[in-house]
Amino acid sequence: MSQQETANPTTPNKKQVRREIGEKLAGALADYKKELGEKKLATHVKKVSKLISRDLMKSSKKQKRDKKAAKPVKKAVKATAKQ
């Protein structure tokens, strides 16, 4: 098996997120393709999808980091005998 097949499919990488955002934006802005032209619209969609994907990846990394930091560290508490 190759490494790509064994990778976790639930965690998309940056490129996959960018493609998904680009497809959704292109579909939503299909009416403007006539006004702007196909090439200009594709360029703008690409730029916006890069910005959005970068911010999404940053926020997901921050959430993972905060989640790890939020786990309480268990320390062995020694019982002291009172005299």
For 5-28, the DSSP string reads HHS-TTS--HHHHHHHHHHHHHHH
For residue 73, CA distances in Å to 39, 53, 77, 78, 83 come to 54, 33, 12, 15, 30
Handedness of CA 32, 48, 22, 60 (dihedral sign): negative
Taking the C-alpha atoms of residue 48 and residue 24, their distance in angstroms, rounded to an integer, is: 11
**pLDDT tens-digit series, residues 39-80:** 999 999 999 999 999 998 888 888 888 888 877 666 666 666
Predicted TM-score of the model (pTM): 0.61
